[in-house]
Amino acid sequence: MTQTLKIAITRTNHGIGLDLPSYATAGSAGADLLAAIPDSHVIHPGKRALIPTGISIALPEGYEAQVRPRSGLALREGITCVNAPGTIDADYRGEVGVILINHGEEDFVVTRGMRIAQMLIAPVIQAEWDLVKELPETVRGAGGFGSTGTHG
């Protein structure tokens, strides 16, 4: 069963007339974020742009919002988020922005109201660091960066 959490949200002036973030299906984990731009913005291949969403949120303490790419844009157009997932902290009150990059071969045109990313709400755990002289041993040890191979 899906849990819900009430989150305060405001619109910026350039977000007026756009829908609030919404879930495309009953089983969606991420709510779609829309481009709150006046008309359109071209992102050339290899370039990036900060696209405003027209919203600001007040997350409850103990939660974060993660901004992630939309898989369809990534597959079809090569459009993704530079810092995926981007984190919105509970104490941030500015406008939510999405940093898009064009990894495709053609110009990509972002238009007003376009679904450009998705936002997931997640609980946060802050670590309490325990400085020790040695870490416990494991079978893997310090092996990383492909040390387990690419095939089963």
What's the pLDDT tens digit per position in 2-48? 889 999 999 999 999 999 999 999 999 999 999 999 999 999 999 99
Q: Was domain 9-123 assigned CATH 3.40.50.2300?
A: no
Euclidean distance between CA atoms 28 and 19, whole angstroms: 17
- The total of other beta-carbon atoms located within 10 Å of residue 7's CB is 14
Q: What contacts 19, CB < 8 A, 6 or more positions away? A: 34, 113
Q: Average of pLDDT values for 107-132?
A: 98
Q: Per-residue confidence at 91, pLDDT binned at 50, 70, 90?
A: very high
Which residue numbers belong to the known binding site? 70-72, 83, 87-89
Euclidean distance between CA atoms 28 and 22, whole angstroms: 9
Q: Read off the amino acid at residue 145.
A: F
Task: Determine which of 83-87, 91-95, 139-143 has the lowest per-residue pLDDT on average.
Answer: 139-143
- CA 94 to chain centroid, in Å, comes to 15
Which residue numbers belong to the known binding site for substrate? 70-72, 83, 87-89
- CA 48 to chain centroid, in Å, comes to 15
**pTM of the model as a whole:** 0.90
Exposure of 110 in the CB half-sphere (CA atoms within 13 A): 27
